[in-house]
Amino acid sequence: MNRLSIADRAKILGMLVEGNSLRSCSRLADVSLNTVTKLLMELGAACEKFHDQRVRNVRVRRLQADEIWCFVGAKAKNVTAEKKLEGWGDVWTWTGLDADTKLCVSYLVGGRDGGWAKEFMQDCASRIKGRVQITTDGHRAYLDAVEDAFGADIDYAMLQKLYGAPAQNDSRYSPATCIGCEMETVSGNPDAAHVSTSYVERHNLTMRMSMRRFTRLTNGFSKKIENHIAMVAIHAIYHNFSRIHKTLRITPAMAAGLSDHVWSLEEIVQMADGLMAKSAKRGPYKKRISN
């Protein structure tokens, strides 16, 4: 079976993480759309597995958590019951970011209710060692989720933003002006100077700018939930291991002690090949017993 070289796959990967759509990657790389889609799914599965294995026992002093909205297929109000079963509708991506190293500790694609919040926070807790200070927005689903995942041995605060009334001449897509914030201590003794969600919100903006399917008011949204999840997984690995942070001047993984160098796109492709090869190994040979 024909297979693209590592250099060609790295080239397509570079297009994907810089915000190109599947069809634009197909045109620029002069390959079929099916080839790009297949590569997306393979890299996504490998990146998800690699993140789960590598991002463990991370010492995080300050964790910021937030959610970013988008949709698959159509917005929830326009989705039929049949399409909803296929994963269409509103989709939320939960992200947990280390405020010091800018490492994406955990991410989860799903809904926004308490069940998803608990699953997300339990995943965060499984990857962090030591006492941590957590800051979230005012989403009430975090309250039970943080307590169930971390217990009482944390410093946790909520930061609730206050918005003014929108002006009458504002368009439907213009958000109201933020006029202040209220801090609510939930547990422990959080340092008020570091109660913030600014870094994780900036990370969410990077996600929106770096992945075509998050772009608002366009037709670049995901058409399949599987493709959406795969792209989020790829972005997480690229952000952690390959993208040099402008302030840190190194990658988040290097700052967190998870890597000793900046990963090239070719290395990500080779990592995916290695994980796929391991998962494709045949089981132990069983001798056929004749009657």
User: Is there a contact between 196 and 133 (Cβ–Cβ < 8 Å)?
Assistant: no
Per-residue model confidence (pLDDT) at position 264? 97
Sign of the CA dihedral running 170, 175, 178, 183: positive
Per-residue model confidence (pLDDT) at position 183? 84
Per-residue model confidence (pLDDT) at position 291? 43
Per-residue model confidence (pLDDT) at position 220? 86
User: Is there a contact between 118 and 145 (Cβ–Cβ < 8 Å)?
Assistant: yes
Distances (CA, A) of 207 to 70, 95, 210, 233: 11, 10, 5, 11
User: Is there a contact between 145 and 117 (Cβ–Cβ < 8 Å)?
Assistant: yes
Task: Supply the pTM of this predicted model.
Answer: 0.89
Give me 167's structure tokens: 């002006």
Per-residue model confidence (pLDDT) at position 283? 52
SS3 3: coil
**Pair type for strands 133-136 and 128-129:** unpaired
Kind and range of the H or E run holding 237: helix 225-237
Sign of the CA dihedral running 91, 269, 251, 154: positive
Partners of 104 in the beta sheet? Answer: 97
Per-residue model confidence (pLDDT) at position 290? 46
pLDDT in tens, 196-240: 999 999 999 999 999 989 988 888 899 999 999 999 999 999 999
Q: In 45-187, where do the E strands start and end?
A: 58-59, 62-72, 89-98, 104-110, 128-129, 133-136, 155-163, 178-187
Neighbours of 193 (CB within 10 A): 6
- Domains of the chain, start order: 6-279 (3.30.420.10)
For 88-113, give the DSSP string: -EEEEEEEEEETTT--EEEEEEE--S
Low-confidence ranges of the chain (pLDDT < 70): 1-2, 166-175, 280-291
Query: CA torsion 238→239→242→247, rounded to 10°?
Result: 170
